[in-house]
Structure formats: C-alpha cells, structure tokens
Structure 1
Amino acid sequence: MRVVQLGTGTPELAVVAAIHGDEPCGVRAVERLIEEEPSVKRPVKLVVANEEALERSVRYVDEDLNRAFPGHPEAETHEGRLAHELGAELEGCLTFSMHSTQSHADPFAIVDELSETTRDLCPQLPVTALVETGPFAGGRLFSGADAVEVECGLQGSDAAAENADRLTRAFLTAVGALPGDTVRRDLPVYQLVDRIDKAAADTYEVFVDNFERVEEGAAFAAADGEKQVASEGFYPVLLSPYGYRNVFGYTARKLETLTASTVAE
C-alpha cells in the first residue's frame, strides 16, 4: 500500500485507488495529483491500496479486498491483512474510493446508506446515479471507513481514467480541499434489493440497460441461451454478462431523486 499526503496537518479526507488490481483508472488520477502537488485547503491522504494485485493486473491476490473488511492483522490472506491495514489508515477520514466496471459506461456513486453527508456531497459529483447497498455492504470498504465509492466507467478504458480524474477533483472541491465551485445536479437514488444468480454456462447474455426499469415478465439475461425472466419489475444495477463469476448483478428499487434545488437550499 502506498500512501502520500497533500498538505500539512492531520487529514480528514482520503482518496483511494486500486482496491482491485485490474481497475487502474483511479491510480492514474492519484498519480496525477501526486505529480502536480496542488495547494490544498485541507490535507488529503492519497492511497494506492492493493499494489501487489495491481502489479499482477489481477482483481485480487487471495480474495476480493472489497469483501474483506474490516480484516485482521493475522488474516490468512493478503487482502485480509491489507483490509485491516487500510482501515487503520483511513480511520477518521471521509474516503473517496474509485472503481471501474464491465456493466455501465457512465459514472455512478455507491454508499452503504444515505446520510446528511452523502445527500449533500453526491449531487456535486459528475455521476448519473446514486446506489445504496442496503444489505449488501458487508465486507466492503464501508465496513472499515466512512466512504463513497464511485464506478468511473468501463474497466480498462481511457474514458474511465479521465472520469476518475474529473470525479476526484470534484470530490476534493466539494469538501473544500481544492478551490472552486461544483455543479449540483438532480440525482436518482436506487437501493439494492437482491442478487441475480447465474447458473454455470459457457455463454452469458444481458438484454437490458442498467438503471432502466425491467418490467415483470421481461427477459433480461440468458445463460447458454436459456432466458431469465423478471418475476417482478426492478431496476438492474451492475448487470453484465461476465463482470461477476456467480451473479449477473443486482435488482434494485428507486427510492427518490435528490434535486439540485432542494439540496442547495
């Protein structure tokens, strides 16, 4: 794990990249900040988390780091030990963690639950949706830190790296670390409801778009040509053919829309 601080004093803000080693977009954003050393109004920790997985260009070494929190110093896995170390490093920090996905090109934010902080912060980020994990937060970074995760775009794309830089600077501006103003936007909020399992198969297909409502009775995915049909209406989130080994993604419900005018008042 690499940790670099911008500014002086005890940081209450942190930016984290490379929770997953095959998602380098955030690393480029962090490295650019390290190179530029911008003058900050509040000190910030910049963290490249799973350096070993990053060097191997793999998601993880032993287990998914974003399912390993809070970890333990004597854990049997690399990520179990790293989760404990990273949690200690981020203690007391509002943390911004960058990811990329195989399911959706447009950036969106993920939180464990809506709070006064996330209601104010997330509409200031250039994201198209906000997802509350609800019962699916276990083992994620949320278990070890006060965090907002962002999916910056499609995994391995230049666009995701560019989005990561833009998102990071928007976060640091919104929390008063960098000078300037942010643009508030209407932001739909979704809550995860259930996992969508997928059977072992040679080929998988997805027929719907993330965050676009799937009506009851509609076919939304297939495994070896066998279609899965919605038993009730839902909003798909993180749905992709090959993004996860055992699940297509998640069903979600729409909770509300945070409006720019309401948040700004």
Structure 2
Amino acid sequence: MTVRHPAPPLQRHQFAAPEPGPRLLVLGAVHGDETCGTRAIERLLGELQRGEVELQRGLLTLVPVTNPLAYQLGKRQGERNLNRNLRIYAAPANYEDRVANILCPWISEHEVLLDLHSFHTAGVPFAMLGPPDNDGPIEAFAHAHAEQRMALHLGTSRIVEGWMETYARGVARRQREGRVTAPDLLDNSYGVGTTEFARTQGLYGITLECGQHRDPQAPEVAYRAIRQTLALLGMIDAPLAPSEPGIEIIRLVDVIDMEHAGDVFVREWASFDRVASGELIGHRQGGAPVTAPQDGYIVFPNPGALVGNEWFYFGVESKRQL
C-alpha cells in the first residue's frame, strides 16, 4: 500500500536572454540524497541573481530540487524511484507519478538537458551517454554528435553508455524468472529516466555522476559542468575547457538485482573496479557465488539495494569512437 506524504511543490528558476538561443534545462536532486547538483545550481542561481554571471542568449531553466519529497526525507526516493518509468501518468498512483506529470512537460519545453547525480560508493565522476544515431525499437535517436560533444566537455575522464539496452535485458530477466512482484520493475519502460525521456521528445542530454554522495568535490564537479555546458552552447561568455585526455568509454552490458536481503558482496566494491572473467563478486543468500561473466567493470555497486532492485551493473570496454 502506498504511503501518503505531504506534497512539497516543485520550483524552477528561469532566465531568458533577449538574444534567442538554446533552451537548456539543469536538474538537481532527482534522487533526494544526491545533493551535489542542488548545491551547484544554488551557487549559479545566486551568481545570476547578483549579476556576476550574465546569460547572453537563450533560455536557462534551473531546478535545484527535482524530487522535493525524497530531498525532504534525505532518501533516494519518496514513494518510488523518479528516475525510472518517467512518463505522463493518466492516473498517478504516488508522489513521483505526480512529479513526473509536472517534470515531463518541463523537459519537453527544452532542447538540451543536464541532469546532475552522485553515487553510493567511492569512484570518479563520469558522464552517462545515450546511443549512436539509430531508428531502432529501444532508443531511437538523431543527435548523437551534439550529445557526444557535450559529454566530452563536462570535465570527466570516463563516459558510460548502454543504459537502455542493459535495462531491457534486466526487465526481460525479471519477467522470465517471475521473481519480482513490484509492477514498475517489470515494466518495459523501467529504464526510462530524465535523459531517456528527453530523447523521446527530440532533446539530447547527459546524466553526469559527479562523485560519491558525500564527496566534498562533487558540488564543484557539478558546478563546472553547468558552466561548461553554458559555454559550449554559447549562452555565457566563458572559455570552453578542452576535453580530458585519454577518456575511457565503458559500455554497460548487464544489471544484476539483489534477490534476497542476505545477498552480500565479497568486498567493498567501488564503481569501475576491474574484475577478471570468473572473479568472485558476491554471494547469494544461500551461498551461491556471483562471478564476473567476462573481463570488465563493476558499476554502481549498491550493498544496501532494496530486494528486487539493482545490486550492481556490469560493464566492458566500449569500441565506440567519439
């Protein structure tokens, strides 16, 4: 049964320059315990209001707290994960459904999206990139060049791709095995978050993972990324920093769920820890080993995952050329 909470309102701050230009949306705290984007947006908001930063062209929309209930609770979500199954709901069943009905039209009003996040365990910042241009059934897209250019100028040395294909694989496994009863975890749209929804509306955008939740540098990573996106789009007068040398591209290929509360990792994994084929990653509650299917990387390990939800992702080196 869904627990009813007070419904804090969403707030957005818009700045429209007299000169036409790109329409950029920047989101913070889509997950309530990921506050680096909130702090970075608040910092830029103050600079814009004081005239220390001048918007020269286009429309800039800032949403410091995209999920106010989760932010108020200090948790990843209020009643469900806002960054999954993001769409318009004719009959909203929970707080995040109602937020989605506000947020989705806001996204559709723009051309570019920057969504600022952080992660559970130690690791370096990285950008989540969408697919190459394609007209396929999973995530058709036509702005890969612009999105790749954006990813290259956000100040990170690592880029990750393959999100939607990985989620489709995870949903298919849940449906096949029939272990999960929560309807949203079995929905074919479960992997659709902010940037994935944005691409269905003709936008391009990046989810930037700015570091570990409590890393004091994460708000600075987020702030620099906003400034660099504005510079890249010609919306402010600021130098565009070059891309980081030797950028590593990793492709997600699978998502592994926590099946039981007793599932445990064999050690404290950090995102992008390398593993060799057959290496032991964890144990299921009954003792069955969970091993690496091939040489690759652990991504987003979450030892505190809810049963039925994502325990960790598995990635490999990508052959994609940016």
Give the TM-score taking structure 1 as reference length.
Answer: 0.87
For residues 286 and 157 of structure 2, the distance between their equivalents in structure 1, rounded to whole angstroms, comes to 31
Contact 1:192 1:253 in 2 (8 A): yes
* Root-mean-square deviation (Å): 2.4
Give, in angstroms, the shift of residue 73 of structure 1: 5.2
- Aligned amino acid, residue 139 of structure 1: V
Structure 2's unaligned 5+ residue stretches are 1-9, 133-143, 168-189, 199-203
Which residue of 301, 310, 314 maps to 1:247? 310
Match of 2:102 in 1: 85
Letter in 2 for 1:23: E
Q: Once structures 1 and 2 are overlaid, which stretch shifts more, 108-117 or 16-25?
A: 108-117
CA distance in 1, matches of 2:222, 2:117: 8
Aligned residue among 139, 145, 160 for 1:116:
145
The structure where strand makes up a greater share of residues is: 1
Q: In 2, Cα distance between the equivalents of 1:200 and 1:73?
A: 33
1:125 paired residue number = 154
Query: Which residue does 2:73 correspond to in 1?
Result: 56
1:141 aligns with 2:194: yes
> Does residue 210 of the first structure (1) align with residue 225 of the second (2)?
no
Q: Is the 8 A contact 2:123 2:270 kept in 1?
A: no
Query: Which amino acid counterpart does residue 182 of structure 1 have in structure 2?
Result: A
1:102/1:243 contact within 8 Å kept: no
Q: What is residue 22 of structure 1 aligned with on the other side?
A: 33
Cα-to-partner distance string for 1:201-254 (whole Å, 9 max, x where unaligned): 447335454334321121123456944222332322212422565332111222
Matches within 5 A, 1:114-193: 114=132, 115-132=144-161, 133-135=163-165, 136=167, 138-145=191-198, 146-178=204-236, 179-185=238-244, 186-193=246-253
1:75 and 1:149 mapped to 2: Cα distance? Answer: 25
The structure with the larger Rg is 2
Shift of 1:56: 2.0
Q: Secondary structure at the match of 2:113?
A: strand
Distance, in Å, in 1 between the alignment partners of 2:80 and 2:250 is 27
Match of 2:54, as an amino acid? Answer: S
The percentage of aligned residue pairs carrying the same residue is 27
The offset of 1:151, in angstroms, is: 0.7
**Larger mean Cα displacement after TM superposition, 244-253 or 37-46:** 244-253
**Is the CA contact 1:71–1:82 (under 8 Å) kept in the aligned structure 2?**
no
Kept in 1, the 8 Å contact 2:32–2:68? The answer is yes
**Relative to structure 1, is the Cα distance of residues 74 and 157 closer, same or farther in structure 2, using a 3 angstrom cutoff?**
same
- Are the counterparts in 2 of residues 101 and 243 from structure 1 also a CA contact under 8 Å? no
Which runs of structure 2 are paired with 1:192-207 in the superposition (5 Å)? 192-202=252-262, 204-205=264-265, 207=267
Report whether the alignment pairs 1:33 with 2:44: yes
AA aligned to 1:111 is L
Give a deviation string over 1:138-195, Cα, whole Å, max 9, x none: 3211342132101111113322222222222222222222221212123222222111
Structure 1: distance between partners of 2:39 and 2:290: 38
Gaps of 5+ in 1: none
